[in-house]
């Protein structure tokens, strides 16, 4: 049997040590890369959260405007209903035509800004947020966004299926279009000039003062205003609450990042 020389034994040990060092170097490299990637992902997640907070605060402002418009619409519908109940359906009355216009032309649609929340979810950034409460709240808010859109689609469906055909059948567009379409004036400007266009003040509307039609129209608008009002009770109030709650949780998670130990803005210990 051939004996292994001391030099050969040394070379084997040396190679084994080299392999071990190489293994640890590669492993350490993977760990460092993973650590850097984790830091980068956490940083990106924080940026997305900050952007999401900005979006939600903007949505609050826009939703407040939307709510005011919606409340005015509800009041306008009620004014039209009251006028028809009191005076019936009038063809040649500018005031009732304007009440009808306010009740039927002012439906608006609110679309929340969901770009950043969708990116947080789709990019997998949720796992880097480090807060179960925040992760859960983002899921709750996403569900509220879906509920809000579903509710508005129901409103739109009622408007398109019932009120728009009513408008097409009984609203005389001739007077409005004289300025709105032919002269490219704004809708409010054209509406204010109806009496100047229709000098005889006739046929603002194309309906007859029928009792059956009156009951039908009043009931349609009563149904419409019921749906609009129910949106607040069923969806809108809860939606606002969840937006405020999400902003609060996001800002509390971002709060530690506002102060860096090397920053001059760091609070001093008394």
The torsion of the CA quartet 245, 246, 249, 252, rounded to 10 degrees, works out to -110
Residues in the chain: 270
Q: Say what the pLDDT of residue 90 is.
A: 96
Would you list the domain boundaries of the chain? 6-171+206-256
Query: What is the arithmetic mean of pLDDT over 212-216?
Result: 96
pLDDT digits (tens, 9 = 90+) for 241-251: 999 999 998 88
Q: Global pTM? A: 0.74
Query: What is the arithmetic mean of pLDDT over 220-246?
Result: 91
What tokens does 116 get? 């950043």
E runs forming strands in 73-192? none
Separation of alpha carbons 225 and 42, rounded Å? 47
Separation of alpha carbons 64 and 61, rounded Å? 5
Query: What is the arithmetic mean of pLDDT over 73-96?
Result: 96
What tokens does 18 get? 């080299």
pLDDT digits (tens, 9 = 90+) for 159-179: 999 999 999 999 999 998 998
Residue 125: pLDDT band (50, 70, 90) is low
Between 28-32, 51-55, 81-85, the lowest mean confidence (pLDDT) is in 28-32
């Amino acid at each position: 049997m051939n004996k292994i020389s001391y030099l050969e034994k040394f070379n084997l040990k040396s190679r084994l040590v080299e392999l071990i060092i190489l293994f640890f170097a590669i492993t350490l490299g993977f760990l460092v890369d993973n650590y850097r990637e984790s830091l980068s992902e956490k940083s990106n997640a924080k940026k997305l959260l900050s952007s999401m907070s900005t979006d939600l605060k903007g949505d609050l402002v826009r939703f407040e405007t939307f709510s005011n418009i919606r409340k005015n619409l509800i009041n306008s519908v009620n004014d039209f209903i009251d006028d028809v109940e009191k005076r019936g359906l009038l063809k040649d009355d500018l005031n009732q035509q304007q009440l009808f216009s306010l009740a039927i032309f002012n439906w608006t649609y609110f679309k929340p800004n969901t770009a950043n929340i969708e990116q947080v979810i789709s990019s997998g950034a949720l796992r880097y947020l480090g807060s179960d409460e925040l992760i859960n709240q983002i899921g709750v808010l996403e569900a509220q966004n879906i509920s809000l859109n579903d509710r508005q689609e129901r409103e739109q469906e009622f408007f398109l299926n019932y009120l728009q055909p009513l408008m097409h059948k009984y609203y005389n567009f001739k007077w409005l279009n004289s300025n709105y379409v032919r002269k490219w004036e704004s809708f409010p400007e054209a509406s204010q000039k109806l009496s100047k266009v229709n000098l005889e003040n006739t046929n603002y509307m194309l309906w007859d003062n029928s009792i059956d039609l009156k009951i039908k129209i009043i009931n349609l608008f009563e149904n419409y205003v019921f749906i609009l009002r129910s949106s607040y009770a069923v969806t809108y109030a809860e939606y606002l609450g969840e937006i405020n709650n999400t902003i609060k949780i996001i800002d509390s998670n971002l709060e530690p990042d506002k102060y860096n130990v090397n920053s001059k803005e760091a609070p001093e210990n008394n």
